Amino acid sequence: MPTIVFDLDGTLVDTAPDLVDTLNVILQRHGVAAVAFDDARVMIGAGVKPLLARALASHGLQFPPAEIDRLFAEYLELYAAHIADRSRAFPGLEGALDALAAQGHTLAVCTNKLEWLAVRLLDALKLAPRFAAICGQDTFPMRKPDPEMLRLTIAKAGGDLAGAIMVGDSMTDVATAKAARIPVIAVDFGYTETPPDQLGADRLIGHFDALPQAVREILAVSR
């Protein structure tokens, strides 16, 4: 059966509260003012180092790469300890995953989060057993938007490209899927600076209750 591959941050799980909390603790440790939650929320998605750099840039600051590396190490240590303090699955997710599994779909995760952090988060939320593969930015030698990461995630989950579908929240996810020639469903509650209806996804959903139907529609067209 087809493989449904999900992004993680901003797609499966609302991780922004813990990501932004950690960001602001690290910034303030180094004498930099906190970033407002709504401003920081749209900086999420490309990974921690870009998040740190964008947060600093919002204050007109630019740290050298070696300093960003030090902040990154501090961030990971703190975030790992508080990875699921306030992060929660988006509404309707578990019901949608149940429905897709009942239809025989294989489920997987393809995220630019480090793999061990992705696994730790999904374990903490008791979601990890639902996925045949959980792949992060360090699982393979490439990361999204390189389409090979998506292809390799599907293969690791035991699936194939035929009938596979990507579900994500950002231009990175849409670009990855399109480059892999795989249909993509976007959610409108994620962390994108681009308006969700302008991402160019094959379908756009506003709640996970709509996901099983969107999957059925895409598969009906592709057959």
Gap between the Cα atoms of 111 and 134, Å rounded: 8
- 210, with CB counted inside 10 A (0-12, 13-18, 19+), is middle
Q: Angle between the 115-124 and 65-81 helix axes, to the nearest 10 degrees?
A: 20
Tokens 């390799």, located at residue: 152
Gap between the Cα atoms of 199 and 184, Å rounded: 10
Catalytic residues: 7
